Structure 1
Amino acid sequence: MGQADRAYLASKGFSTILEHGADFIAHRLAPAHPVKDGRQTPWKGHPVFVAQHATGTCCRSCLEKWHGFGKGQALSAQQQTYVLAVIAEWLHREEKRL
């Protein structure tokens, strides 16, 4: 995670960043057939985006490959909570790293 993302995380606070993450997951990842699947998550511009690529939670193909969540079926609330927890853990580790 770069300096700009670290600064954004520090200025907004962890809970706000995770609210953003929950929204990103619900709208960009959870549908059975997300719009632009495989390209819906930018590589930069928000700490959650960086975390998604680092944790294999960026698209339905990566979710299937790394987390076993099959394509073509909407993510359940429990699965969305899991994805957010994976992202949160990565962000916590990154915060402590430097």
Structure 2
Amino acid sequence: MRDLDELFAALSKSAFRKKFHLQGKDLVYLQTKGLPTIIVHAGDFIAKRLAPAVIKNDGKQTPFRGHPVFVAQHATACCCRGCLEKWHRIPKGRPLTQDEEDYVLKVLERWLHNEM
């Protein structure tokens, strides 16, 4: 896992990652529900779509829109196990530990907070 300041500095240099921002319904949803509620949603998405050792549709399990967390996942490279390995140094092929799930939540929370 990476230092968050180092991670966000690297993400800011990626043409693909830096193009993601909350807009329209996703931004309104975040502002209406509040960050604490959205982070609860994020925890559920991570547990179901990212934490298992084997994900049948890995690399395609995270939609690009429809929830602020989905946008945040793509913006922060927390969208699939391949990106977690490449950007966050979290290996594929095994379940995420609780510390790793907590780390992903911190990454997503920081990005969402910055978008508000």
Normalization by structure 1: what TM-score?
A: 0.94
1:88 equivalent to 2:109? Answer: yes
Structure 1: unaligned runs, 5 residues or longer: none
4+ residue segments displaced more than 6 Å: none
Shift in Å, 1:35: 2.8
**Identity, % of aligned pairs?**
56
Shift in Å, 1:3: 1.9
RMSD (Å) for aligned C-alpha atoms: 0.6
Higher helix share: 1
Measure, in 2, the Cα distance between the counterparts of 1:94 and 1:11.
Answer: 14
Q: Note if contact 1:51-1:91 (Cα within 8 Å) is conserved in structure 2.
A: yes
> What letter is aligned with 1:60?
R
Shift in Å, 1:33: 0.6
Q: 2:3 maps to which residue?
A: none
Q: Give the count of matched residue pairs.
A: 95
Measure, in 2, the Cα distance between the counterparts of 1:34 and 1:2.
Answer: 29
1:1-98 equivalence runs, <5 A = 1-95=22-116
Normalization by structure 2: what TM-score?
A: 0.80
What do the CA deviations read for 1:27-74 (whole angstroms, capped 9, x no partner)? Answer: 000000123110000000000000000000000000000000111010
